[in-house]
Structures are given as C-alpha cells and as structure tokens.
A and B are shown apart, each in its own frame.
Chain A
Amino acid sequence: MRSETQERFYPMDRGNPFNPPEDYAELRDKAPLSRVRLWDGTHPYLATRFADIKVVLSHPRFSCEPNREGFPHVLEGRMVADKADRSFLRLDPPEHDRLRRMVTKEFTVRKVEQLRPRIQETVDRLIESYTSLPQGADFVEHFSGPLPTEIITYLLGVPFEDHEFFHRATRIQFGSKSSQAEVRQSLDELFAYLDALIDAKEKNPGDDVISRLVAEQLVPGHVDRETLINIVRLLLSAGHQTTQNMTALGVLTLLQHPDQLALIKQDPTLIPNAVEELLRYSSVLHMGARRVALEDIDVNGHIIREGEGVICSIPAANRDGELFPDPDRLDVTRPQARSHVAFGYGVHQCVGQVLARAELQVVYGTLFNRLPDLRLAVPFEQLRFRHDMFVYGVHELPLKW
C-alpha cells in the first residue's frame, strides 16, 4: 500500500531554498517508503520518515557498499567516485569498524577541545583577511571554503600550498555536471598526490594524522597502501564540502532570520543548540545516506526485498513533525534539535561531527559579534543554490559588513 503512489524523479526540485522539496511532506504522510526513478532508470525506495530512516541506517543487513547490485546511484559523477571508493565510508562491518577505529582517536571530544584555540585563531584571521577585501566579496570563496580546508589539512599534515588543488578536486568529484571521465581523471590525480604524500611522511614524519597512520597502521601491515590512500582521501573530502556549505548556508539562514540571530547575539550560551538547529534545518547532505538490503527486511511494517536500494533522505527526516513540532520553523531554542540525523545514524555516523560542531560554534559565535552589520550584498533572489550538487548550500555568498 505505502508505495503505491505515482513514481517521482529523484532528486526533486525545491521551492523554497531553505526547505526540502515540497513533495517530501506529502510522501512522508502518504507513502513514507515509496519508489523513485533515478537518472540511470533504476527505482530505489525513498525513505522520508525519521523512524524508518533510523531502522535502515542501524540495521546490520542494510549494506552501504556501492558495487552491490541495487545500491542507489543518485548522480552519474558520484557513481564513479563511489564505486572506486575503498574507504570505510563504503564498507560494511566488520572491516568498516576495524578501519574506522584507526582514525577515531583523532576526532574525540578531548582532541577537538585541544584544537579549539587554533580554530578560533583561524576564524579570527579569516575574518581579518575577508574584511580587507572590497565590500561584497564572496564569503564562500574567502571564508567558508578556506576554513575547513585549513583545519583538516593542518590535522592531516597536508602542505598549505596544495589547497587550491584540493578545492578543484572536490569541486569536480562532488559536482553534478562532472562527466564520468572528468571524475575518473580527478580521482587519479588525487591518488597520485596522496601516494607521494604518504611516501614523504614515511621518510619525514611529523606530528600529524597521516604520519601516525603510516607509522602505526601502514608500516606494521594493518592496512595496505591503497586503503590508506582511500582513508586519507575520505578525511580530506568528507569534512571539506560539508563544513564549507554548512558554514555559509548557516550564516545566510541566520541573516534571513534576524529574530533568531538576535537571540544568539544576546545569549551566546545558545550557540551550541543553535548549531544543532541549523544542522537539522539545513541538512546539507541532501541526497541522503544510501543503502541496499542484503535480505528481506521489515522496516516498520514495510518489507524491503533483498537487493533493493533505499535512499534515506536526511532533509526529510530532519523535518519530520513526529519528532520536531512545527518542523519548518527555525528555532535556535528548540529542545529536540540535537536529535537530528544531519550526521547520519548507525555505525557510519560522521567521524568528524565533534570537529564540525566546534568549527560552526566558533564561526557563529565570533562572526556576528565582530561584524554586527553583516548583511547580504545582493538581493536574496540572485543567490544560486546548489540544487543539483551532492552537498547542498549556496554557490556564492556576497556579503557587506
């Protein structure tokens, strides 16, 4: 019954750029697990209810391996990158857990707290350099892009001079207009680069994540070189596009909701909760967490057959009124905000979430106090949103201060 409505094409268009596609609300009510049609003619399920998504993402028999028959490939370019991916993001337990545990010690609450002064310093410096540009300068290019790159490359021990290379590589690999050949070439370049970097760290280790992975995992033979390159690539790219877009979209969202912005300016203790609410509200991983069933699985009364794919819509779950009353309202004081699934759920829940939270808290806690007149430099209608990109956000954000 639940899947018998008219089949829609996925991804769907948004009306209001701050809200998920309008169809999601109707689907959640009437057909919370319904089939959609993708670019390649396949028909996976789209899950739009919070409760169903939690079941799928925490079920041991839903696989996230992209080479399995039935895994949903939402964008053509992503398919190439996903199928080539040998990191733990695209592996099931037990191998997933073994590899993930090689890096989790680098992103604990304690480690991130130790990093906070450096994040603050970087934010202060970027505000200085951004505001030395002419009024109307692009916040994405000059602030929200550089910030996560600087932090993650510092942690990993990647030379600062190579940032532009990473920006370009992620743009190609996460873009919707990229052809399969372009993605393949960009991946090859990135692999060659990381291969050389790992060599350099082996010969000349530093106090950084890559050096520790080389010494503690690669040299003793716990991980092979190709897998290590994949893990480093994952750490570089997963934290880059997501945090960049969340930072900029969050700033824009607050500027468009002056009452909410006033609340956090008045009471900075609200900032951690405001960050959770902005994560919920924005859900930048808008194409969802994708899985394929390895056997027939009962998802709250609906049977997903073996070999069928499911796209778990993070934006739809985060606007589910069952859990978040008046879900389309931005409310920085919302008590349930942190129950969101913006970082996913289950064993793949984001490794970098503590770091991402700290970066966002520092940005929102500093920017609006330092620049009290911060405002859009162009009419809202002129902004271009990243509708067809794997990670949602704004392409450019010209601001005045």
Chain B
Amino acid sequence: MKIQIDKARCIAAGQCVLQAPKVFDQDEEDGIVILLNDNPTEDLWESTRMAARLCPSEAITIIED
C-alpha cells in the first residue's frame, strides 16, 4: 500500500490522525496533514483505509499494490 496526501485540499479536520495516528500527523503551525509513513505495514492498512474514507476533503489517496 502506498499513500499520497494533498496538503492543498486538507482542511485540518484531524479525522485521519484519530483513525491512524501511526500514519498521519498534523502540522503544529496550521493543523494540515503530515504523512508519517507512506508505505505502512499490513497491520495499519485497515485504519489507513478508514482514514482515507473519512477524510472530508478527499485529501488522502491510497494506491493498493
């Protein structure tokens, strides 16, 4: 699994960090998403997919291998 984020679309709602805190973080300056891990291990796939699904601004793209 590969992940891409689009910081320009992100509205800093924090949903991704609540779902997958090992994969996503928020910038202290503006709350915008930071990708901690663009190639997460399998145990994180489900929560990462949930984060992408819940993101209100479609800022997270998942590329399944």
Given contacts A349-B11, A354-B18, contact A105 B56 (CB under 8 A): no
**A350 at the binding interface (Cβ < 8 Å):** yes
B-chain residues with CB within 8 Å of residue A350 when the two chains form the complex: 13
Contact of A354 with B14 in the complex, beta carbons under 8 Å:
yes
CB distance from A348 to the nearest CB of B (A): 8
Which residues of B in the span 12-45 have a Cβ within 8 Å of any Cβ on A?
Answer: 12-15, 17-18, 21, 26-32
A-chain residues with CB within 8 Å of residue B49 when the two chains form the complex: none
A-chain residues with CB within 8 Å of residue B17 when the two chains form the complex: 108-109
A-chain residues with CB within 8 Å of residue B54 when the two chains form the complex: 338-339
Contact of A104 with B30 in the complex, beta carbons under 8 Å:
yes
CA distance A108 to B15 in the complex (A): 10
Contact of A108 with B57 in the complex, beta carbons under 8 Å:
no
The DSSP consensus for interface residues of chain B is loop
Tell me the nearest residue of chain A to B8, going by C-beta: A97
A-chain residues with CB within 8 Å of residue B32 when the two chains form the complex: 101, 104
CA distance A108 to B33 in the complex (A): 10
B-chain residues with CB within 8 Å of residue A110 when the two chains form the complex: 26, 28
Given contacts A109-B17, A109-B18, A109-B21, contact A104 B56 (CB under 8 A): no
Contact of B12 with A108 in the complex, beta carbons under 8 Å:
yes
Given contacts A339-B54, A347-B57, A349-B56, contact A107 B14 (CB under 8 A): yes
Tell me the nearest residue of chain A to B17, going by C-beta: A109
Given contacts A104-B31, A109-B18, A346-B56, contact A97 B11 (CB under 8 A): yes
Contact of B14 with A347 in the complex, beta carbons under 8 Å:
no
Which residues of A in the span 319-375 have a Cβ within 8 Å of any Cβ on B?
Answer: 338-339, 343-347, 349-351, 353-354, 357
* Cβ contacts A to B, 22 pairs, < 8 Å: A58-B56, A58-B58, A97-B11, A101-B12, A101-B31, A104-B11, A105-B29, A107-B12, A108-B14, A109-B18, A109-B21, A110-B28, A338-B54, A339-B53, A343-B13, A345-B56, A346-B57, A347-B56, A349-B13, A351-B12, A353-B13, A354-B18
